[in-house]
Amino acid sequence: MQTYSLTRPFSGIREASDYLEQAVNYEKLPVVDYDRRNFNLDRMELLLNRFGRPHERFRSIHVAGTKGKGSSAAIIESCLRSAGIRTGLYTSPHMSSVCERMRISGTPCPEQRFCRLLDEKRPVIDELRSGKRELVPTYFELITALSFEIFARSQVDWAVVEVGLGGRLDATNILRPEICLITPVGFDHMDKLGDCAASIAAEKAGILKPGIPFVLGRQDYPEAGTAVLDKAAQIGCEVWEVGKDVLTTNLEPVIVSPAQSGAGPGWSFDIQGPGWSHEDIFLPLPGRHQVYNAASGIGVVELLKQKKLLSCTPRVIRDGIGSSRCEARVELIMDDPPLVLDTAHTAESAVALVGALSTHFAGYNISFVFGCSSDKNHEVILATLAGLSGSITLTRSASPRATPVEELARSARSAGFTDVRKCYDPAEAVRGRLEVAGSNDLTCATGSFFVAGEIKAKLDNIARKTG
C-alpha cells in the first residue's frame, strides 16, 4: 500500500481511508487472537494523551452488547437531540464512508473536516507507527481517537458511544461514562469472547465502572443477565432491568402491505419505569426487538433524569423516539418495488429479521439477497431465513473476510431454499431480484454491513436500472 509524505495533504476521503487502512484492521481479519497483545487500552491511553485527551471534554453514555447496541445508541442520541442537546454518536462499522461512524447532532462528520484533522494528527500517528510494535495503534483505535477529537472540537455536550468488540478490552473502554447500557447478549465473536452466554456477557460487563448506574437490556439467556448483574453487584452499580424495572405494554405493530400503506412500519406502545410512564409512543422501526431497544434507550434517558444529569419533558422523549432512524436495520429503502436492507449476521438477529418481515410486511412474497463474513454461522442464519422464503441470491462483499458464494450456495440448498441463485456483486444481485419483482414481491438484502454498504453505495444506479 502507498505511504504518504507528511508534506502533502490528503486529496480526499479515499486517500485518507487508505492511509488509515495501513494500520492493523481487525474488522477485516478473519482470525485474531483476543488477548492483551492485540487488544489493550495502553495504546489508547498513549494515543489519547498525544491527542490532548479529548474524551475528557464531553459527557458520555457507553453502550455494549451483542444485539441492538447500534439501534439503542441511535435511539438515545435521538432523544438527547430532541431535548436540544448537542450530541455525538459513535457507531461501527460504516457502510460507505468512515465519516458515518462519527455523527454530530445527527449528521455525519464532513469528509473534508475529517481529512483536515487526519492531516493534522498524521505526525503523531506516523511517530507511533515507527515505534514499538505493541504501541502501534490499530485502525479501530485511530478511528475512535479521531472521533473523540471531533466530538471535543464540535463541543458536543453528550456523546453516545457504541463498543466495537466485547467491552473489557475495547478501545472505547477508555471512557469514564455517566451511564452505561448493556443490550441483549448473544452468540457472536465466540472465538474471542467465549463459547457460552455467561463468558460473553462477562466481557461485555467490562464496561461497567464502580458506582456508575446502568441499564440492562432484555436478555434472551438468563445466564448472561446473571453474569452482568454479578459484576454490577461486585462494583456497586445501580441497575434498571428491561422486563423487570422498565416494562412495555400495549404493543401494536404498524403494517405495510401491498393493499395498505401509511406511516409504518413500526410500533406503538406504552412504557413505564420507576416513578415515570409514557403512553402511546410511536417507534418508526420494524421488529419487536426494536421495542426492547427503545425501552433500553428510554430507560437510559429516564435514569439520567433521575440522576439530575438531564432535564426534558415527556414530549421530548416522544419526539425523540418518533424521530429515531437506524440505517440497514430492517430499513425500507425503496418502495416500488420494495427493498429492505438489513445487517443480520447472527442467529438471533436472523430470527429478529424474520419476525419483523412477517409482522410488518404482511402479504408480500419475500426473496433474499445474502452474503456474510466467514466468521459467522451462516448455516444457522440461512436455515432461519429459509423458514420464510424459498428464494435467495447468494453474494459476497469485497471484504477479504467474505464467505465464498459457492459455500453459501451449498448451505442454502441444505437449509431448504429451492430457488438458489449466485451473483458475485451485491448491487447486481439486488438489481436482478428487483427486475423480476411483481407488485406483491419484496426483496430483503441482509447478512453483513459490508454487503449493505456496497448496495447502498449503488442504490441510485439500482433504482435507475429497475425503475
Predicted pLDDT of residue 261: 52
Task: Give the pLDDT confidence score for residue 336 in this predicted structure.
Answer: 85
Q: Which domains occur in the chain, in start order?
A: 13-322 (3.40.1190.10), 331-466 (3.90.190.20)
DSSP element (H, E) containing 466: helix 459-466
In one letter, which amino acid is 178?
E
At 397-423, the pLDDT tens digits run: 998 889 999 999 999 999 999 999 999
- Nearest Cα to 209, choosing from 92, 351, 61? 61
Q: How far is CA 146 from CA 115, 204, 396, in A?
A: 11, 23, 30
- Distances in Å between the Cα of 127 and the Cα atoms of 121, 122, 147, 391 are 10, 8, 20, 52
Q: Which residue has the higher pLDDT, 37 or 380?
A: 380
Whole-structure pTM value: 0.91
Task: Name the residue among 416, 417, 418, 441 with its Cα closest to residue 366.
Answer: 441
Given the C-alpha cell 458464494, which residue does it identify? 405
pLDDT tens digit string along 182-241? 999 987 655 567 679 999 999 999 999 999 999 999 999 999 999 999 999 999 999 999
E-assigned strands of 176-323?
179-182, 214-216, 239-241, 247-254, 266-273, 276-283
**Cell 467474505 appears where?**
402
Mean pLDDT taken over the chain: 92
pLDDT one-digit tens code per residue, 317-364: 999 999 999 989 999 999 889 999 999 988 889 999 999 999 999 889
pLDDT-derived band at 96 (thresholds 50, 70, 90) equals confident
Q: So what's the pLDDT on residue 2?
A: 45
Contacts of 419 (CB under 8 A, 6+ apart): 367, 390, 391, 392
For 274, phi then psi, to 5°, come to -60, 100
Q: Are 373 and 351 in contact (CB under 8 A)?
A: no
